[in-house]
Amino acid sequence: MNIAGHVDKIRRLEDLRKRLNPDADFELWFWSTMTAGTNAVNAALHHAGITPEERAFPSQPGVYSVPAGPNAADFKSVLKTSGDVLHVGRPPIPGPIPDDIAEMMKAMEQIEHFRDPCTRGDMTIDAKVISTCGQAYEKCVGLLERRLSEKKQ
Amino acid sequence: MITAKHKEKALRIERSLAKCEARDYEIRIEAAMLAATHWVNGAYHALGVSAENNDILHTYMLTVNEYRRYAAANEHLIGKLAEIEDVRPLYVRGDVAGGEAIADRAVALLNDIRAIALGV
């Protein structure tokens, strides 16, 4: 996707995060957080010229849906070696990675650590989990904002 | 995870889903996927098709053999979950227009899956 598309999704997901209760709605609050953070990493990777800014949407690592006509039904699956990640590490991005993006990825790994145990499994969701995810997210999007405002393409 | 826990988790996600608005289509689709996966796993455990320590994460991660086995037990459960998953690249990770209507469809599929699972 392009940077503007990622940023639009981040803004809308942040709006939803504010309407959800991090405790009572943890699963969707978490999923909004993780999805917005992943969009931030993808936007930063495009900005750094590491992955292409294009309408190619990942379905699994290395497989992307790309437009082959004007309608949604016209999208087809293709293999690509580089593009948006589904999650940090899926697929891995070959280095070198700028320091700020490496920090963003590290923050996302902190969030991803809770994905399956807390949304698929029955790991106890407590204030520490919420705070860890919240702080990691703020760090991730803060670094994207800094990159987009300070480092011109 | 045991069937009762899957049900508890699915209902919890559905309560949060009810707080989402049409414009939150990405997370409505993701919520449908997450809750439906819990219903599907709980139902297949109850049917004796899968063990409680062997949950489906995504249908596309199953081997063809496993997928066919689940479909033989109940093709609607696995098929409708796969249909929800299939819209994620274009509408959750992509920028294709029409996400609101697609999210409505995903939630309708979740409703179907819940009804089947509760009947098992």
Q: Which domains, ranges and CATH numbers included, belong to chain A?
A: 3-51+85-150 (1.20.120)
Q: What pairing do the DSSP bridges indicate for beta strands A57-60 and A76-79?
A: unpaired
- List the Cα angle A96/A101/A104 in 5-degree steps: 140
What is the reported pLDDT for A30? Answer: 98
Three-state secondary structure readout of A55-71:
CCEEEECCEEEECCCCC
pLDDT in tens, B5-52: 999 999 999 999 999 999 999 999 999 999 999 999 999 999 999 999
Q: What is the DSSP letter of B93?
A: S
pLDDT in tens, B59-116: 999 999 999 999 999 999 999 999 999 999 999 999 999 999 999 999 999 999 999 9
pLDDT in tens, A23-61: 999 999 999 999 999 999 999 999 999 999 999 999 999
- Contacts with B23 from chain A: Cβ below 8 Å: 12
- Which of A25, A34, A66 is the best substitution to test chain B (most B C-beta atoms within 10 A)? A25
pLDDT of A151 higher than 80: no
Q: How far is B49 from chain A (nearest CA, A)?
A: 19
Query: CB–CB of A59/B89 below 8 Å?
Result: yes
Mean pLDDT computed over A124-153: 93
Amino acid letter, B69: R
Rounded Cα distance, B46 and B52, in Å: 9
The verdict on a CB contact (< 8 Å) between A116 and B95 is no
Report how far Cα B14 is from the mean position of its chain's Cα atoms: 11
Return the SS3 of A77.
strand
3-state helix, strand, coil in chain A (%, to 5): 55, 10, 35
- Contacts with B94 from chain A: Cβ below 8 Å: 1, 55, 57, 65
- Contacts with B34 from chain A: Cβ below 8 Å: 27, 31, 119-120
Q: What is the DSSP letter of A90?
A: B
- Contacts with A29 from chain B: Cβ below 8 Å: 16
Amino acid letter, A142: G
A66 touches chain B (CB under 8 A): no
Crossing angle, helix A99-112 and helix A127-150, to 10 degrees?
A: 160
B95 touches chain A (CB under 8 A): yes
The verdict on a CB contact (< 8 Å) between A28 and B13 is yes
Nearest to A28 among B31, B88, B90 (CB): B31
Q: Which residues in B77-98 are b (16+ Cβ under 10 Å) and which e?
A: bbebbbbbbebbbbbbbbbbee
Q: Please, which residues have CB within 8 angstroms of residue B56's CB and are 6 or more apart in sequence? A: B37, B40, B41, B44, B50, B62, B70, B78, B81
User: Does this complex have an ipTM over 0.90?
Assistant: yes
